[in-house]
Amino acid sequence: MIQAKVKILSNIKAGPNYYRMTLACPAAAKKIKPGQFFQVRCGNKSLDPFLRRPFSVHNVDKKGNIEILYQTIGKATVLLSDKKSGDALDIIGPLGNGFEQRTANSERRTSIIVAGGMGVAPMLFLAERLVHRRQTTDHRKVIVLIGAKNKKNLLCEKEFRSLGCDVKISTDDGSKGKKGFVTDALKGLLNANRYTLNATLYACGPSPMLEEIAKIAAANKIESYGSFEEHMACGMGNCYGCVVKTKKGYKRICKDGPVFDLGEIEW
């Protein structure tokens, strides 16, 4: 883990309220696991807002540059969007546990990624790692289900496709892909492939989506791992401001997570 002021290489609009920021961060880049995040000081010298904000690692390139993908929804993210290439950004990370890419059971041949809304942010990096693993082991397929409110809020379709993933889109209003929630698409996929899929589910999105995925996974007897996007304060395990109830007691999302076995959560 590092705390450093790193150089912003670019901060580019990626959609109506979305930005992609690239940071030069070779000191941390090699050790990052998909699903880990950085705590970012978004304000300027006034320390306003006081609390750092968590952002997932969206991508890591060979030069040691880290990308984050973010949506402007409030004070900190708007301030972040104003930053220019060449500016310095104060970051702490990588933090959290990240996704384990399952390899132990060679029978598990399909990885299904479910990304709801801003939940796509950590999943591109995970998909890249899973695809790479697939080329070097017998993991056969990476299916990506992306859910968004509408076509305008749909992110990363092209990027997942260029990795070779089998991408399926759902939008709440039907403006692109299947109309409905991404969890409906997941149910459809598992029902259609009940006897052939032996899958691991990886998810990121709002809590109600993760809860539904936990139910679907239990009904289909498959394992599921989800990354929580809850509010955080310290982001480093000190304040207990981000707990989730699990079968083994309360766990801190920032330190013990943000990725949990969804079958272990007390919903």
Ligand X SMILES: Cc1cc2nc3c(=O)[nH]c(=O)nc-3n(C[C@H](O)[C@H](O)[C@H](O)COP(=O)(O)OP(=O)(O)OC[C@H]3O[C@@H](n4cnc5c(N)ncnc54)[C@H](O)[C@@H]3O)c2cc1C
Residues within the annotated binding site? 53-56, 69-71, 234, 239, 242, 254
- Which partner from the list ligand FES, ligand X, none does 77 bind, CB cut-off 5 to 8 Å by kind? ligand X
Please, what sign has the CA dihedral across residues 246, 251, 252, 256? negative
**Nearest CA-CA partner of 111 in 128, 95, 97, 96:** 128
Q: Which residues bind ligand FES (CB under 6 A)?
A: 232-235, 237-242, 252-254
Find the binding residues for ligand X in span 150-189 (CB under 6 A).
none
- Which partner from the list ligand FES, ligand X, none does 233 bind, CB cut-off 5 to 8 Å by kind? ligand FES
Binding-site residues for [2Fe-2S] cluster sit at: 234, 239, 242, 254
- Which partner from the list ligand X, ligand FES, none does 216 bind, CB cut-off 5 to 8 Å by kind? none
CB 248 within 8 A of CB 264: yes
Binding-site residues for FAD sit at: 53-56, 69-71
Residue from the set 31, 151, 161, 231 that interacts with ligand X by CB under 6 A: 231
Q: Is residue 76 close enough to count as binding ligand X by CB under 6 A?
A: yes
Only one of the segments 50-58, 136-144, 165-173, 177-185 lies at the binding site for ligand X (rule: CB under 6 A); that segment is 50-58
Residue 227 C-beta: closest distance to ligand FES, Å: 14
Give the whole-angstrom CA distance, residue 235 versus residue 105: 33
Give the whole-angstrom CA distance, residue 218 versus residue 214: 6
Residue from the set 34, 54, 94, 177 that interacts with ligand X by CB under 6 A: 54
Residue from the set 20, 33, 41, 53 that interacts with ligand X by CB under 6 A: 53
Q: Exposure pattern of 180-201 as b/e (b: 16+ CB <10 Å)? A: bbbbbbbbebbeeeeeebebbb
E strands present in 140-220 = 141-148, 166-171, 178-179, 199-204
CB 38 within 8 A of CB 95: yes
